[in-house]
Structure 1
Amino acid sequence: MAEKSQKGGFFSDLFAPVGGFGVTFATMFRKVATTEYPEEKRPTAQRFHGRHQLNRHPDGLEKCVGCELCAWACPADAILVEGANNDDAAGQRFSPGERYGRVYQINYLRCIFCGLCIEACPTRALTMTNEYELADNNRADLIFTKEQLLAPLQGGMVAAPHPMVHGMEERDYYLGKVSGATPTQKEWVEAHHVTDEQEAKA
C-alpha cells in the first residue's frame, strides 16, 4: 500500500505542471474580451451619469435660475452656486426668471455622480451627459466652472445676456413657446456684445 501511494504521488507530481499548462493552453484560443481603451471606446448607456451640463433655452438664455437647490441636494457638497438678479436696465439678462446662476462650480474631486442634483433642479437646467473622461493630473482643473458646464450654442441661439422674446413671460419659456432667437434679439446682441478683438484693443 505504501508503494502504491508513493507511485500515485509521483505521477501526480509529474503531471501537475502539464495540467496547469493545459489551462493556459486552452485559454490562449479564447476570444479576447479586453477593450483597447482609449483607442476603442465602448458606448455608454443612455442614462449614464457622466459630466454635468447646464442647459439653455432655444433662444440662448440659460435655464438655471440660481435657486441653489442642486447644491442643497448634493450629499458630497460638490456644488457651489451663487445667484444674482437679472438687470434689464443694464442689459444683463441671462435667464427668463428673476435670477440666474452668476457663479456655478462642480468639484469633480468630490462628486459621486449620484444624480440627486438632477432630480432637485426645478427647471431641468442641470442634466448629466455621457462624457466620463474626467481624469487629470491637476486638482484645480477638476473644479469645473459655469463656462465649462454651459451647453454649447446650437442653431437659432444667441449668447446671453440679451432680452427675452418680446411678449413672452417666464412661464412661456417652460411651456415650449420659444423656438429660437428672434431677429430683435439678434440685433440687440450684435449692438451690445463686446467681441474678444474689441476687448483686446481696449
Structure 2
Amino acid sequence: MPDPQGSQTSPEPGPLSGVKGFGVTFGTMFKKPVTEQYPFEKVPTSPRFHGRHQLNRHPDGLEKCIGCELCAWACPADAIYVEGADNTEEERFSPGERYGRVYQINYLRCILCGLCIEACPTRALTMTNEYELADDNRADLIYQKEDLLGPMLPGMVEAPHPMAEGMEDTDYYQGRVTRATDVQIRYAAERASALSEPSGDDVRAGR
C-alpha cells in the first residue's frame, strides 16, 4: 500500500527469506578456501617484483658501485646513505677512480619504489625478489654494504684486486671483462696470505 506521503513501503519478508540466507552459507561451506598458508606455503613472486636491494659485482669480482651517491639523492624516503672513497693501486674495489666505502639502506624508511635503481649509472644497484624484511630489532633493518653485496659467482675473486690486464674502466662498463685473470687471482691470494700472517706487534704480544 502506498505511503500517504507518496513513498512506497518495503514488502514484508516471506516465509522463505531466512532459508535463502542459510542457502548462501551452506553454498560456501563446500568451496575450496583461497587462504594462502604463509609462511609454510610460499607463492612465487612476479619476476619484476621490487624486493630487497643487491649491490652487484663485475664478472671478475670488482664492485660495480662507484660511490657517486646518485641513488641516495634519488631516494624520496632518505633511506640510502653512501660514502665514496678513492681507489688506490694497493686497494682497488671497483674500476675507475672511486668506490662505495660505506653503503647503507634503512629498510625502516625504504618504500621499495625503485627510483634508486633508475638513478644508478653503472647498474650496480638492482632489486631482488626477496620480500621477507621483518625483524624484531630496528638496528638489524639497517643493511650494511656486506649485507647487500651479491654472492661470489664462479670466475670472481673477492676485491680488492687490480683491473684485468689491458682493460680500462670503460671496458668494464661495456661488458668486455668476463672473469678474473691469473694476475688478479694471484694478487688476491698474496694479499689474503699477508693479512693472515701475524704482525710484529702481535708476535711481541704473544698472539
Q: So what's the TM-score if we normalise by structure 2?
A: 0.86
Cα distance, 1:32 vs. partner?
A: 1.4
CA change 1:60–1:9 in 2 (3 A) is: closer
Cα distance, 1:119 vs. partner?
A: 0.2
- Which protein is richer in helix relative to its size? 1
Runs (5+) with no aligned partner, structure 2: 2-11
Q: Which residue of 1 aligns with 2:25?
A: 24
**Structure 1 residues 108-164: Cα deviation after superposition (integer angstroms, max 9, x where no partner):** 000001100000000000000000000111111110000000001000000001111
What is the alpha-carbon distance in structure 1 between the residues aligned to residue 63 and residue 69 of structure 2? 15
Q: Which residue of 2 aligns with 1:145?
A: 144
Runs (5+) with no aligned partner, structure 1: 2-7
Q: Which residue of 2 aligns with 1:101?
A: 100
Cα distance, 1:87 vs. partner?
A: 1.1
Q: Which has the higher mean CA deviation after the structures are superposed, 188-197 or 62-71? A: 188-197
What is the alpha-carbon distance in structure 1 between the residues aligned to residue 22 and residue 195 of structure 2? 67
What is the alpha-carbon distance in structure 1 between the residues aligned to residue 96 and residue 110 of structure 2? 28
Q: Which residue of 1 aligns with 2:129?
A: 130
Q: Which letter does structure 1 place at the counterpart of 2:94?
A: S
CA change 1:195–1:39 in 2 (3 A) is: farther
Task: Find the residue that maps to 1:193 and give its secondary structure.
Answer: helix
CA change 1:153–1:34 in 2 (3 A) is: same
CA change 1:194–1:26 in 2 (3 A) is: farther
Cα distance, 1:43 vs. partner?
A: 0.9
What is the alpha-carbon distance in structure 2 between the residues aligned to residue 9 and residue 182 of structure 1? 85
Q: Which letter does structure 1 place at the counterpart of 2:130?
A: E
Q: Which residue of 2 aligns with 1:85?
A: 86
Cα distance, 1:21 vs. partner?
A: 2.6
Q: Which letter does structure 2 place at the counterpart of 1:59?
A: D
The 5-angstrom pairing of residues 190-201 of structure 1 reads 190-193=189-192
CA change 1:126–1:35 in 2 (3 A) is: same
The total of aligned residue pairs comes to 190
What is the alpha-carbon distance in structure 1 between the residues aligned to residue 184 and residue 13 of structure 2? 90
**Structure 1 residues 17-39: Cα deviation after superposition (integer angstroms, max 9, x where no partner):** x4333222111111211111111
Q: Which letter does structure 1 place at the counterpart of 2:32?
A: K
**Residue 11 (structure 1) aligned to one of 11, 15, 18:** 15
Cα distance, 1:10 vs. partner?
A: 7.6
Q: So what's the TM-score if we normalise by structure 1?
A: 0.88
What is the alpha-carbon distance in structure 1 between the residues aligned to residue 45 and residue 104 of structure 2? 25
Task: Find the residue that maps to 2:15 and give its secondary structure.
Answer: helix
CA change 1:194–1:101 in 2 (3 A) is: farther
CA change 1:71–1:165 in 2 (3 A) is: same
**Structure 1 residues 155-179: Cα deviation after superposition (integer angstroms, max 9, x where no partner):** 0000001111011000001111111
RMSD of aligned C-alpha atoms? 2.0
CA change 1:148–1:39 in 2 (3 A) is: same
